[in-house]
Every structure is written in C-alpha cells, then in structure tokens.
Amino acid sequence: MSAAGGLPRTGSALAIWPALRRSGLGPGLLMLAVVTGLNIALQPDFFSGASLSGNIATFAPTILICVAQAVIVLSRELDLSLGAGVSLINCVMASLPQDKVGGPLGVMAIAILVAILLGAVNGLLVAYAGLPSLVATFATGAIWFGLALTIMPQPGGVISDAIGDRYAGTLMGIPVPLLIIAVAMTGWAILARHRSGRRIMAVGSNPQAARDAGIPLRRTKLLAYLVAWILVALGAIAISAQTLSGDPRLGTSYTLASVAAVVIGGISLGGGRGTPWGALVGALVLGLVTNVIYFAGIASSWQEFVKGLVIVAALGFMVLEGQRRA
Amino acid sequence: MAFTRRGFTSAGLGLASVAALGGIKPSQAAAPVTIGLSNGYFGTEWRDQMIDASKTQFAMYENQGLAHKLIVQQAGPDTAAQIQDVRNMIRSRVNVLMIDANSATALTGVIHEAKRAGIPVIAFDQAVTDPYAINVGIDEYDWGKHYAEWIVAQLKGQGRVAVMDGVPGHPAAVARRTAFMDVFAKNPGIKIVWSGYGMWDQAKAQAVMATVLAATPHIDAVCTEDGMGLGIMRAFQAAGRPVPIMTGEAQKSFLLAWKKERDAGHDVHLFARSNPPEIGRTAVGVAVRIAAGRKLKPLPDNTYHYPIKVEVTNDNLDQLLASVADKPDGYFLGEYLSESELDKLFV
C-alpha cells in the first residue's frame, strides 16, 4: 500500500503532500485555509491582538475537548459523555466554596480529579467490562448530566474571578488559553513518542495485531480514556473561566462538536489513523465557520446548516481517500 | 441601588441635553447606531415573535435615522456559542448589546468584556445577575402570583389544585413556581394534589396531564404557566372530563380553544396573562436611547419590570381575539411601551 502512489510528483514542493495524506490532515487544513481566508477578508482586524486572543479564548475549550475525543477515537473507541462531563465538572467547580478548597488552584485540582474519575469509569466500563463504548458512554453521559442537575438544579454558583482573570490574561507575553493548548499538545507529542502513546495507536489501528504483539489491550484503552479526560478537565476549566458560574447544560454541545472535529480532522472513526492535531484543526474550522457567518452578515440560523455541510464534505473526502487507498 | 454606569453616560451627556426635548433625537453628528442582539434559545413561537418584534421596532428607528444596523445572532441552547456571538459583536464594535441569555449567570464573563469595551448591555426577557447589565423584562414572580391568586379567588380558597411548571431549573419557571407555592401556602384550604413539569411544550404537557388524570380522579383547578394550557385542556377533553378552572397562555391558539369550549355552552373559568414577546420592542427602545447617550433614571437592582396590562378573562376574550384576527394561531398577545412611555424612563 502506498498512500502517495497515485500522486504525480511534479516537484519537491509537493513532497509534503504525501505526508499530509497519510495523516489525513489535508482536507482539514484546506478547509482551515478557506475559512481563515474568508474570516480575514470579512473582518479587517482579524490579526489584531484583541481579535486573536478573543478567538483563542473562545476556541480553547472546544479544541481541548475535541483533542480529547481524538485520543479516544484513535484507540478505536468513542466517548459520547464528554459534553455532560464538562457540565458536571463545571457544576462541581461552581458549587465549591472557593476559599475553603485552596482557592483557584484547589478548585482546578478538584476539577482534574473529578475528570480522572469520570474517565476511569468510562474506561473501566469499555475496556474491562467490555461494553460497547457508543452505548456505555451515552449512558454514563446521562448519569453525568443527572449528577450535574443534582448538584446545581439551575444555573448559578460562582467561579472565582481569579480564574477568569488569569484565563483572560497572558503569561510571559503569551495568552493563557494558547499556553494551555500548547501544553496539552506538547503533552500528547511526548506521549506519542513514548511506548504508551504508540500502544494507543497500535490498539486502534489493529487490535488483533496489537494483542498478538503482547500489548495489554485493556490497560491501553483505559489509559486513552484517562489521558482524554485530563484534556476534558482543561477544557472544562477553560469554559468555566469564561462563564464564571455553573450551568448543568453548559457542555451539552461539545459532544457532537468533538465528533465533528475528529471527522474534519481526518481521524478515522475506525481508529488508528490520524492525529490529535487533526481534531485541533477541526475545532478551529468549526469555530471560524461561526465567525465567518457572523461577519458575512448571514443569519445565524445558517450556522448549523453550514457546519453540517463542512462535516459532510469532510466525510466525503474521507470516503474518497478510502477508495483511493483500496 | 445606585445607578452607576460608566463609559457611555459621559460620552452621551452632551447629546442628552439635546435629546431631552424631542424624543430620542441624537445630534446629527452622532455615529450611526448599531445594535447587536444575541438570543439564546430559538425556534419557538415566543422567541420568533420576540425577534420579529425587535426588528419591527428597529425598522421604525431606522426610518427615523436614529439607528443604522441591527445584528441578530441566535445561539440556541449552547452557552459557549452565545459567548462567541457576543464576543463577535463586541469585536465588530456594536454601540449597544441586547442579550436574551440562556442563563442568569453564564454570560458574566463576556458581559465584563463588554464593560471593558465600553459597550452598554441590556439583558432582556431573561434577567442576568451581573450589575453592569440593565435588565428589561417582566417580573416573573409577580406574574406567577397573579395566576395563583386568580385560582385561589375562583376556588374561594377551597379546592384541589394540580400545578404544572415549565422547565426545571429555568429561572423564570423557578420564580413562577415559587410564587404559586407561596400563594397556595397562605391558603390552607388549597390542597396541591399534583405538581410537575410540562417543559413549556403543549404535547409534553398533554401527555403528562393525561397520566395525572388517570391517577387523580378529583382535580378542581390546574395552575399552569405559559405554553402548556392548551395541552392540559386537550388532556381533560380527551379524558372526557370537563375543563377545570385553569390558567393558560395569552396565545391565540389557547384563546381559540377557550372560545370553542365556551361557545359549546360549557361553564368555563379560564385566565391568561400576557407575557409579551414584544418585550423585544421595549428593549430596542431602551437600547436606541442608551446608544444615543441618554441616561436612564435610577432603577432598583438595575432592573426595569415591564408593567403588564393585558389579562384575558371571559369578559374580554372575544374582543382580544378580534384584535389578533389576522395573526397566526401561534401569536402571543403583544404589548410594549410607547415612545412617550419609553422617554419617561430616561432623565
């Protein structure tokens, strides 16, 4: 099999193309270029500091949650409870007595612990109990949502301004949301070079072969869930830093957005093929589409329509790619 | 609570003196006013009518040269999407923001961003907790109180009442429910035989009430609020039971069903109070004036409660139905502040 076999090699500048195709990132990057170009054309101050940092602050939670989904999808599973998990973490954060748990750092530490717990439950159900992830995480999602509603029957609570201010600020001149994304992606890059990260990919691309090679299937899938939910915690903290309050429905839309971003990013839903960078690209595309629609003055009711088109187009690319490989 | 609004008041003081005499009238030199309207939930008859009403009011000001552009964005139930919408509006430098928020608190962060950008914020329909925003809406508690008090009066303080609410956890539903329960608690003769939720959805309300009816043989009255009355009435009819003393919504479809019931010779005791989607018109009126630099008179808790005028009873049913003869069945009775009433809110 040669991914680049059918491509005419017209010059060295195109040498990057086969690599892109192998990663599945090509169509996603193309879409990203198009929506970024449109956004720049429609919004003259796109590159202004305020605009860029506003965009990053807006997109960061989605990016982190989409990358989380990507890690799980790469292990050939799915998690439909991410959005409800974000809501639950957010409600926990907003209902904590902020001063009594060690201030912002304590609140964030608890958020991460809760996320790890949720990820462990999902991971155990899927990897060890052998439940199909689609159904199991759909069910746990309902449980997370129910718990969120129990903790916080209506939107309210307080998340300390300190978290919000820090999120909106910069560290060493770099916007904090950008730093969080950089840390997350670096973390994945390190993991991917490590044995555990390679195992996640191996388990996803061919579970049988991975098992034959002596890779512990269950432990690896559980690891994928745990890694993903740490990213979900970061995403939940990032959105909570913007709403500064709790809302049991806050995360609802992230579940589908994360699956969409994974598809746009060229990550095979069958597992094993693609990279979390694809989900980052997918999340950016989804976010920028919304901006383009706004600045083009198109009625917002078209947003979902256009996003749907983008996802269908991404799926189409994927199918074409699959046929070409076959 | 003191009215402390910075940023735009000082910029507008000069204009305000000009404006004081003749309606809004900002000076001709004023920059064209752009309003950013961010709505949460949409696709319901109420919200659609609210957006249409806002556009109607805006068109009036546009014709008078008082406003230049109305940007409408509807985020749906997704708070993150609404945050993004509001950020985009701030970035495109609208002169004033109108927000119908999904939650009283979740937009706090982005309202702070508007404050930093010096853009006034009017939270209409759904009140928000952040003190920078000016709330324009109805008093949900008082609204619910009227409903419950009407029920108590009809029952002369004695009877078995079923209570159906909207969405659990929604601030308006919580306020109305609290009002219901407060009023009923003061009347020991009132026994609440059932209470639950119909999600502000006629079909859901009908299904829930059908179940309740099967289990509850004796119900004297149903206290419900907004958007579920028709479903409840249909559940009673489908069960072959007489329509009880009940409250409902000031929506044409409910009023038509009411009239049909009455014209069939039944003894009907129904009540509805308007919860006008035209609050959008009132809010646009406030927004345009603020953008023109006019200063609101001090408001308690930064909140203006629209004084509801229309209540539907057997006495004015026909007259009110005639007034909306050309409207679709989903139409809610509308009312809003006139230009002179709006002017009275300002210094």
- pLDDT (tens digit per residue) in B312-329: 999 999 999 999 999 999
The average pLDDT across B69-78 equals 90
Chain B contact for A154, CB < 8 A? yes
Looking at residue B190, its pLDDT comes to: 97
A239 part of contact set with chain B, CB < 8 Å: yes
pLDDT at residue B346, rounded to an integer: 96
Answer whether B169 sits within 8 Å of A295, measured CB to CB: no
Preferred mutation among B87, B119, B126 to probe A, highest tally of A CBs within 10 A? B87
ipTM: 0.81
CATH, residue A75? 1.10.3470
Q: Answer yes or no: is pLDDT of B118 > 80.
A: yes
Structure tokens at B197: 């939720």
Q: Residue B78: list chain A partners with CB under 8 A.
A: 252-253
Nearest CA in chain B to A155: B103
Which CA distances in Å does B36 have to A152, A165, B33, B55, B109?
31, 25, 10, 12, 17
Do residues B92 and A297 make contact, with C-beta atoms less than 8 angstroms apart? Answer: no
Contact A67/A185 with Cβ under 8 angstroms? yes
As a dihedral over the C-alpha atoms of residue A215, residue A218, residue A219, residue A222, rounded to 10 degrees, the angle is: 140
CB contact under 8 A, B106 and A248: no
Is A274 within a domain?
A: yes
Domain that residue A62 falls in: 25-35+45-320
For residue B175, give the chain A residue with the closest CA: A154
Spell out the per-residue pLDDT of chain A, length 326, in tens: 334 333 444 445 556 667 666 677 888 899 999 999 999 999 888 998 888 888 999 999 999 999 999 999 999 999 999 999 999 999 999 999 988 888 899 999 999 999 999 999 999 999 999 999 999 999 999 999 999 999 998 888 889 889 998 998 899 989 999 999 999 999 999 999 999 989 998 998 888 999 999 999 999 999 999 999 999 999 999 999 999 999 998 999 999 999 999 999 989 888 778 889 999 999 999 999 989 988 988 887 787 788 888 888 888 887 777 666 55
Cα separation, A200 vs B295, in Å, equals 61
A253 min Cα distance to partner chain B (Å): 6
- Please tell me the total count of domains within chain A: 1
Q: What span, in angstroms and rounded, lies between the C-alpha atoms of B125 and B144?
A: 15
pLDDT band, very low/low/confident/very high, at B269 (cuts 50, 70, 90): very high
Residue extents of the structural domains in chain B: 8-138+277-308+334-344, 140-273
Residue B307 has pLDDT above 60, yes or no: yes
Selected for mutation to probe chain B from A45, A82, A86, A154 (highest B CB count within 10 Å) is A154
Partners of residue B81 in chain A, C-beta under 8 Å: 253, 290, 303
Residue A325 in any domain: the answer is no
Contact A180, A119 (CB under 8 A): no
A244 — contact with chain B (CB < 8 Å)?
Answer: yes
Tell me the pLDDT band of B15, cut-offs 50, 70 and 90.
very low
- Is-contact A262 A66, C-beta < 8 A? yes
Instruction: Read off the pLDDT of residues B136-151 as tens digits, 9 standing for 90 and up.
Output: 999 999 999 999 999 9
Domain B140-273 in CATH 3.40.50.2300: yes
Does residue A129 lie in a domain region? yes
State the DSSP code for A316.
Answer: H
Contact between chains at B105 and A43 (C-beta distance less than 8 A): no
B125 vs B119: CA distance, rounded Å: 19
Lowest mean pLDDT among A1-10, B37-46, B236-245, B324-333: A1-10
Residue A1 falls inside a structural domain: no
Quick: pLDDT tens for B154-183: 999 999 999 999 887 778 888 999 999 999
What CA–CA distance (Å, rounded) separates A150 from B211? 25
What number of CA atoms fall less than 13 Å from residue B270's CA on the CB side? 28
Going by C-alpha positions, the residue among B175, B241, B232 that lies closest to residue B200 is B232
pLDDT of residue B168: 76
Looking at the predicted structure, is the pLDDT value of residue B13 above 70?
no
- Judge whether A279 lies within some domain: yes
Q: What are phi and psi of B244, to 5 degrees?
A: -80, 180
Distance from CA of A318 to the nearest CA of B (A): 28
The answer to whether A204 contacts chain B (CB < 8 Å) is no
Q: Does A50 touch chain B (CB under 8 A)?
A: yes
Residue A133 domain-assigned (yes or no): yes
- Joined together, the tokens standing for residue A270 give 């069958």
Q: Establish if A156 touches chain B: CB-CB under 8 angstroms.
A: yes
Specify the pLDDT at position B79.
87
Residue of B nearest to A44 (CA): B92
- A250 chain-B contacts, CB cut-off 8 A: 79-80, 106
The full 3-state SS of chain B, as one line of letters, equals CCCCCCCHHHHHHHHHHHHHHCCCCCCCCCCCCEEEEEECCCCCHHHHHHHHHHHHHHHHHHHCCCCCEEEEEECCCCHHHHHHHHHHHHHCCCCEEEEECCCCCCCHHHHHHHHHCCCCEEEECCCCCCCCCEEEECCHHHHHHHHHHHHHHHHCCCEEEEEEECCCCCHHHHHHHHHHHHHHHCCCCEEEEEEEECCCCHHHHHHHHHHHHHHCCCCCEEEECCCCHHHHHHHHHHCCCCCCEEEEECEHHHHHHHHHHHHCCCCCCEEEECCCCCHHHHHHHHHHHHHCCCCECCCHHHEEECCCCCEECCCCHHHHHHHCCCCCCCCECCCCCCHHHHHHCEC
Same fold, B8-138+277-308+334-344 and B140-273: yes
- With a cut of 80, say whether residue B31 has pLDDT above it: no
- Token pair for residue B149? 């008090």
Report the topology of domain B8-138+277-308+334-344.
Rossmann fold (3.40.50)
Which residues contact residue B205 at a Cβ distance below 8 angstroms, ignoring those fewer than 6 apart?
A: B164, B198, B199, B224, B227, B228, B229, B230, B231, B232, B235
Chain A residues near residue B88 by CB distance under 8 angstroms:
290-291, 294-295
In chain A, whose CA is at the least distance from the CA of B78?
A: A253
In chain B, residues with a C-beta closer than 8 Å to the C-beta of A243 are: 79, 83, 105-109
Taking each helix axis from N to C end, the angle separating B140-155 and B171-185, rounded to the nearest 10 degrees, works out to 40
